[in-house]
Structures are given as C-alpha cells and as structure tokens.
Amino acid sequence: MCRRWYGCQRSIRKIPKLKAISEFKIIEKYLSNIGTSFNKKNKVLIGVGDDASVISLSKNLIVSTDTSLEGVHFPKGIKPEYAAYRACVTALSDLAAMGSHPLAFQLSLSTRENNHKFFSSFKKGLNDFSNDYKIGLTGGDLVRGQYQISVTVIGKQHSKILLRNNCSVGDIVFLSDQLGNGLLGMQNFKKFRRKNNVSSAYLKPKALINYGKTIAEFASSAIDVSDGFLQDLGHLSKASKVGFELSSSSIPYNSNLSLKQCLNCGDDYQLIFTVPKKNIQSLTKKMKKNKFKMFEVGTSIQTKKIFLDGKITSINMGYKHF
C-alpha cells in the first residue's frame, strides 16, 4: 500500500476542480461498507478495518484472483461504476465454473484518481455487484498507479467441485447460452459510449453462480468462457487429456456476428461443461425445474484435438497476454 501519493502536490494540481481525498478517507467512505450486511450469513467474522479478514469455514475454500487493466480488459473512459462491476464479475465467474458458493471478495485497486466523483461511481459498481451476488467486500489494498483493478473472490464448496481435468471420452459437451454478446456489447459501447440493451452484456456481465451450483453434481468438468470458446475448450482438452468433436450448427451464437468471431471472442462468461451420458437425464430434469438453458454442442473423443464439423480447428485465436 502507498502512503506517499496523497501528500503529493503534483497529483492534486493535475485535477484542480476535483477535491482530493486522503487514502484513509477513501477507504472509510467508499470501501468499508460494501455488502457488510451479507457478512454474517457468509460467516465473515472480520471484514475491512483490520490487517486481514477472517472467515469461518466448514467446507473447502475456493479462491480465485483476476486483474483487470485499463486499455486491456476495459477501455479508457468507461464509467468507474462499470469498470468496478466488470472486474468483480470476471473474477467471480471462475467460482461459477468451479460450481462453488461465493462468500466474500477482496479488492486491490491501483488508480491515479483521488476524488469523490471517481470513487462515488466506483462504489456504485461495487455495491451493485455486492447486492447482485450477496457478498461483502472484506478488504484489499489501494495504491497510486496505472488504473488496474484486481479482485480476489472467496467461495466454498457447494456440492462437487467442478474441475477442468475430469472429462472422460464419451462425455457430452454443453454450453450454457449464446456466445458473442460480450463482443457485440463492447463494439456497441465503443460506438455509443453508453449503457443500452446491447452494451450492458459487456458493461454488466453475469457470473453464472446458480447455474454452476446446479450443474456441479452432474457434470464431469467445466470452464468459463473468458478468453474465447475454442481457447477455453482447449484448456479443458489439455487438462482432461481428451479431444472434442463439435457441430457448428448446434453452437448458439449472436447472429449479428459471425460464428468464427463468436468462437474466438472473450468476455462472454458462459460456461462450457461436460456431462457423462448416465447423468444427462437427471441434469436435464433439474435444469428444466430451475429454468436454465443448456445447449448440447459436441462430444468428447480420444484424439486430443478439437474438430468442428469434421475439421481440426485452431485453438490459438482467443485472447492471450503473452
């Protein structure tokens, strides 16, 4: 953490119209009371304010961290509200893919802003996220630097823990819903610079927590689509040491885009999961009861390659940082 920034006159002069606030005021006013009402139910004994948070647990802990960088994961000029919300959901999506139940989240924020306007909007995003998923912000860090939001999500095991490495040959591959809404939403936001029916899929994506918990006891493996359907299916293939045979006509995607775009774009946060044939009937029944969609898109095979309509696909087209 940084105690030097807020005394730095240069940063205050750069934004003369906005009143600068100190680090401890920011934490107190904007980061201390996010979702604290959910802490009791989630057995969070100590949240923001001490050197670390304390959570009481009887089941396995499931933890994941994701960092969102300005210019990479969210565009310059996006409202802090949406930057914050998106960063939290992208982190939480990993808990959905594990079939787990969220308990709390931690936030490490790096920014050059230290004014009420920025932090009021940022807080709105955190509060909306906290209310949507019923978890509190239990701690974090605040430093001055390049705008970057790192979120750690903490969850517990719900039923079975869904891993990437447990798919067997013959299991059926499912996708939770249509691909491409995230990409189309981002394109729309870049054009109109505001939230509407289309851009909301990008600005306020959803983590499929209840969906993940529902499939957990029936599925053999799962992954969330963060970097592109084919790339993420490639991770399942590698971890489970199986291949996949897909039929393009069964893959749901946004018809304003091409199938190729939708197979390779990130930001959708749909779940890909595999199910042993013997579990399909009971899963289908449970999904119907919960009004959850699921689309059968292929089968897992012994050859460790991904075939789309009989042709080997390149899985190297999704987003990669290095």
Closer to ligand ADP at the Cβ: 37 or 250? 37
Distance of closest approach, residue 143 Cβ to ligand ADP, in angstroms: 9
Compute φ and ψ for 205, nearest 5 degrees: -70, 170
Identify whether the C-beta of residue 64 lies closer than 8 Å to the C-beta of residue 95.
Answer: yes
The yes or no reply on residue 139 touching ligand ADP (CB under 6 A) is yes
State the residue for tokens 């399909």. 280
**Nearer CB in complex with ligand ADP: 141/309:** 141
Residue in 109, 107, 122, 110 with CA at minimum distance from that of residue 154: 107
Position among 107, 198, 215, 294 found at the interface with ligand ADP (CB under 6 A):
107
Establish if 140 lies at the interface with ligand ADP (CB under 6 A).
yes
Query: CB of 1: closest distance to Mg ion in angstroms?
Result: 8
Going by C-alpha positions, the residue among 302, 314, 292, 283 that lies closest to residue 245 is 302
Side chain identity at 44, as an amino acid letter?
A: V
Residues 155-194 that bind ligand ADP (CB under 6 A): none
**Angle separating helix axes 80-97 and 116-133, nearest 10 degrees:** 30
β-pairing verdict for 221-224 and 148-156 = unpaired
Q: Which does 135 bind (CB under 5 to 8 A by kind): ligand ADP, Mg ion, none?
A: none
Q: How many CB atoms lie within 10 A of CB 188?
A: 21
The answer to whether 51 contacts Mg ion (rule: CB under 5 A) is: yes
Nearer Cβ to ligand ADP, position 128 or 245? 128
> Tokens for 157?
């095991």
Applying CB under 6 A, among 78, 89, 96, 142 the residue interacting with ligand ADP is: 142
CA trace torsion 202, 120, 127, 182 (10° rounding)? 0
**Contact with ligand ADP (CB under 6 A): which of 12, 27, 55, 63?**
27
Q: Of 7-15, 70-78, 133-141, 184-192, which segment contacts ligand ADP by CB under 6 A? A: 133-141
Distance CA 142, CA 140 (A): 7
- Residue from 19, 40, 49, 146 touching ligand ADP (CB under 6 A): that is 49
| Total residues interacting with ligand ADP, rule: CB under 6 A | 14
Q: Site residues (CB under 6 A) for ligand ADP?
A: 1, 27, 31, 48-51, 107, 109, 137, 139-142
- Residues near Mg ion (CB under 5 A) are 51
